[in-house]
Structure 1
Amino acid sequence: MDECPGPAAAVGLPVVLVSCAVLVDADGRVLVAERPAGKPMAGLWEFPGGKLGEGEVPEAALVRELAEELGIETAASCLAPCGFASHAYPEFHLVMLAFAIRKWQGTPAPREGQRLRWVRVPELFQLAMPPADRPLLGQVAALL
């Protein structure tokens, strides 16, 4: 069998599990957040979300993160799994679980110094994004 191109899978790195939201509005646009100054990869656009807490399931973590970061309320039953990404950074290996969300209460507003943008799917491919978010773009495009 021919070998697949690219580097071998990273071994020995701590695994960080995160949940992210593909918030889709009534016009079919997706919400992205800019990483604020002072954080790693500041200025890059990403899907909102965050790390799972100790003993926290992905859906609960995302519901919590959306309340903290954007001031919106949703429920685990409103989250539809829509993809995942796996990426090795130098210090850790990130596994990101993506959930499409079309129902929430409140208006998303930046609560952690980030900027927010509603964009159409083709525009997502033009944004500067962290390497872990990029594999989600094709999955999001197929969904919408």
Structure 2
Amino acid sequence: MTDRILVVGAALYAEGRLLAARRSAPAHLAGRWELPGGKVDPGEQPEQALVRELREELGVDAKLLERIPGEWPLGRPGYVLRVWAAELISASPEDVRPLEDHDELRWLTPDQLWDVDWLEHDRPAVTETARWHAARN
């Protein structure tokens, strides 16, 4: 039996827009879009991992609001994605820059969510994120 490896993602919102990050690596993911985040390290809580990943990937601090319902299998056996809604607390949207594994960021309004080519495993997470956001706005 394969141990599950938890990957956390952020539905990072600012001014009603969701942040999408375009992968620059690895090659088979490059050019596709995802919610920023990464793997949970051994002994780390998922929420701690997500805050750490946002600092490493984007150089920002974020406040986690709540977990988006659902869990989604990723392209590698044993990997699963969980997503938390979050908001920026240390920067304005214009100050957010890709630092690792991404070459472009976009802040998407609700009607622009499907204007980018999301990775397959992020699509159901984005759908649930949109439902979560619509229910609160």
Place the TM-score, normalised by the shorter chain, in its bin. Answer: 0.7 to 0.9
Which residue identity is paired with 1:32?
Answer: A
Which residue identity is paired with 2:49?
Answer: A
Which shows bigger deviation, 126-135 or 52-61? 126-135
Q: 1:58 aligns with which of 46, 57, 65?
A: 46
**Which structure would you say has the larger Rg?**
1
Change (3 A) 1:19 1:143: same
The Cα RMSD (Å) is 1.9
Q: Which residue of 1 aligns with 2:109?
A: 120
Which ranges in structure 2 are unaligned for 5 or more consecutive residues? none
- Percent of aligned pairs sharing the same letter: 35
What is the SS of the residue equivalent to 2:72?
strand
Cα distance, 1:41 vs structure 2: 1.1
Q: Moved runs in structure 1, 4+ residues, more than 3 A?
A: 37-40
5 Å-filtered alignment, 1:58-97, equals 58-75=46-63, 78-87=64-73, 89=75, 91-97=76-82
CA distance, structure 2, for counterparts of residue 137 and residue 113 of structure 1: 20
Are the counterparts in 2 of residues 82 and 143 from structure 1 also a CA contact under 8 Å? yes
Return the structure number with greater strand share: 2
Q: Which residue of 1 aligns with 2:5?
A: 16
Number of aligned positions between the proteins: 129
Return the structure number with greater helix share: 2
CA distance, structure 2, for counterparts of residue 80 and residue 86 of structure 1: 17
CA distance, structure 1, for counterparts of residue 105 and residue 32 of structure 2: 11
CA distance, structure 2, for counterparts of residue 66 and residue 94 of structure 1: 19
